[in-house]
A and B are shown apart, each in its own frame.
Chain A
Amino acid sequence: MFRLVTKDRALGSALMLIAVLVGSILLLVVGFLARESWPALNEGPGAFFSASGWYPMEGRFGLLPMLWASLLITAGAIALAAPLGLMNAIALRFFLPPGLAAGYRALLALLAGIPSVVIGLWGLVSLVPLIALWQPPGAGLLTATLVLALMILPTVALTSSSALHAVPSDWLRGSAALGLSRWGTITGVALPAARQGIIGGMLLAMARAVGETLVVLMVAGNVVQMPSGLFDPVRTLTANIALEMAYAMDLHRSALFVSGLLLVALVTILALIAGRLGQGQVHAA
């Protein structure tokens, strides 16, 4: 008996050690980003937001044009994906018969699982030339927004649909018994009841969009500039890291790590708001 208790204690301590190790990965990530960013941050963090543009050779590291590109593409993608995704979620919950809904859900899961590099490849080879016929060069703000919207669409649809499924069916039946039409029930009862979960899912989709690299790298055009039109080629924070990390030295490299820290800050804010909304679903499987 005594031997067993000691064994259990030892196992408990070993497991705790593993969990503490795993729990501190986040600290390790942020710590190493901060360490590598230090030389550039030391030059005065204001320079990242006041310097007019990104000219690493001249030591000017203004992140604003790329931050704007990241935010605009994300905002556009969610503006497109939110209504489409929500409508698909409503269809899954209220319109499709159960068998068909299961198949459609599997199809959405398939789309959610397509690697971003493959979606980017399709955008680059199929969509960019099509848009170039109309507005050359084709790769730019609008193209990136469209492709990114397609990428986050299944996430929005699947999280919204599970939020809608969590609404007690008694409420829906009660509303039907009161004589509300199907859409009356949806807009008057189901959507308000599922609001928090739906918004939480959209915030998570936004976090994914801000951090997405391959799609924007392949179809956004990669020119560092303040976007002034829908078809302007732009470069996002993530694409900039992917493009320049391979050869960046010294302060230039350090500035890329600063943009990494900025990205972590952006997605953490989104995740915390989503968590605040009482939605524990960080992992949209």
Chain B
Amino acid sequence: MRHRWRDRLLTTLLWLSIAVLLAALGWLLADLVWRGWPGLSWSFLLDAPRDAGRAGGIGSILVATGLILLVALGTALPLGLGSAIWLNEYTRAGSRAGRWTRLSLDILAGVPSIVFGLFGYAFFGLFLGLGYSILSGGLTLACMILPILIRTIEQGLAAQGDDWRQAGAALGMSRASLLWQVLLPVSAPAIATGTLLGMGRASAETAALLFTSGYVDRMPEALSDSGRALSVHIYDLAMNVSGGDAAAYSAALVLIVLIVFINGLTLGASQVWMRKRVSYGYY
């Protein structure tokens, strides 16, 4: 009898928890659409910001955001791919070098983004002399997304059974061509998933960009120019520009749509990856 009451109470609490979460999420999304939608138009997406962003659009900001992402992924992808291949294909399981590299990446994954901002400012901005620039911001983000990129690609490579490798060795293939011809193509969905995860994280980032890519909202002409990312634009409009709320909401809606789109692609890529794993019959 006692247990029946406990069970009923817990079940009520459980549905209440779901209701709280759905209500909060619903409020957040409805608020975004309700306040952000009226300001959206083609000219908002294409025009340059005017009057500190209260009027005009986010054209130059979208260009700067794209360039920052391009620098970040262009740097992180080759480095991440190389490290993941080395960790999974060239180190023995449990070797010291592999363990230390993984531990270092795990700790790096937890470093707060504002600390990456401090580091990027001191290292890329001052030490390497890049100043406030798209290059500084992109490289800082590259450091930030490397751990998740490497982890995902490594899992993708590890999920390919050893049969491929043994068959390759039996055929006298070099490890380089085995990688190039077999392992990388079958791991392509995992590589895509990792890249998209990194992209999602990079486009959501604000704190790491405040003192690396900076606030300048003009159209960037070179990678050495300062460029304002979309997230930084939202922050600046909300906190430092009185009367900037409406434009901030429209920009936030654009950012959310972008991220939902990236998330959808990630989900699709990871489903292809799972299906591939199943259809080869290893699991």
Contacts and interface: CB of A to CB of B under 8 A. Distances in A.
Bound together: yes
B206 A214 contact: yes
Interface string A253-282: 000110010011001101100010000001
A91 B118 contact: no
B17 A271 contact: no
A19 B101 contact: yes
Nearest to A80: B20
Nearest to A270: B110
Given A33-B118, A113-B200, A150-B24, A25 B32 contact: no
Interface in A217-268: 217-218, 238, 241-242, 245-246, 256-257, 260, 263-264, 267-268
B219 interface: no
B114 A271 contact: no
B150 interface: yes
Nearest to B90: A12
Nearest to B215: A246
A26 interface: yes
Interface string B17-53: 1101100110110011001000000000000000000
A207 to B, nearest CB: 5
B114 A95 contact: no
B183 interface: no
Contacts of B110: 204, 207, 211, 267-268, 270-271, 282
A102 B260 CA distance: 17
A271 B107 contact: yes
Contacts of A218: 235, 238-239
Interface in A3-25: 4-5, 7-8, 11-12, 14-16, 18-25
User: What bracket does the count of chain B residues touching chain A fall in?
Assistant: 35 or more
B104 A32 contact: no
A283 B116 contact: no
B179 to A, nearest CB: 8
A118 interface: yes
Contact of A18 (B35, B79, B114): B79
Interface in A156-210: 157, 181-184, 204, 207, 210
A4 B152 CA distance: 29
Contacts of B35: 125
B82 A18 contact: yes
B11 interface: yes
B174 to A, nearest CB: 4
A122 interface: yes
Nearest to A187: B10
Contacts of A213: 112-114, 206-207
A139 to B, nearest CB: 11
A277 B110 CA distance: 16
Interface stretch (A41-49, A50-58, A81-89): A81-89
Interface residues of A, number: 87
B6 A183 contact: yes
Contacts of A257: 118, 122
Contact of B255 (A83, A115, A122, A256): A115
Given A25-B108, A110-B263, A121-B252, A32 B82 contact: no
Given A19-B83, A32-B123, A246-B211, A241 B256 contact: no
B85 interface: yes
Interface string B54-66: 0000000000000
27 contacts: A1-B172, A4-B174, A8-B174, A19-B82, A23-B83, A28-B119, A29-B108, A95-B14, A109-B263, A109-B267, A110-B25, A113-B204, A114-B28, A115-B203, A116-B204, A117-B234, A117-B252, A182-B7, A183-B11, A211-B110, A211-B112, A211-B115, A242-B207, A263-B114, A282-B109, A283-B109, A285-B152
Interface of B: 3-4, 6-7, 10-11, 13-18, 20-21, 24-25, 27-28, 31-32, 35, 78-80, 82-83, 85-87, 90, 97, 100-101, 104-119, 121-123, 127, 143, 146-148, 150-152, 172, 174-176, 179, 197, 200, 203-207, 210-211, 231, 234-235, 238-239, 245, 248-249, 252, 255-256, 259-260, 263, 267
Given A20-B101, A91-B14, A211-B115, 7 more contacts: A22-B101, A27-B104, A109-B267, A115-B255, A117-B206, A183-B3, A267-B111
Interface of A: 1, 4-5, 7-8, 11-12, 14-16, 18-29, 32-33, 35-36, 83-84, 87-88, 90-91, 95, 104, 106-111, 113-122, 124-126, 150, 153, 157, 181-184, 204, 207, 210-214, 217-218, 238, 241-242, 245-246, 256-257, 260, 263-264, 267-268, 270-271, 275, 282-283, 285
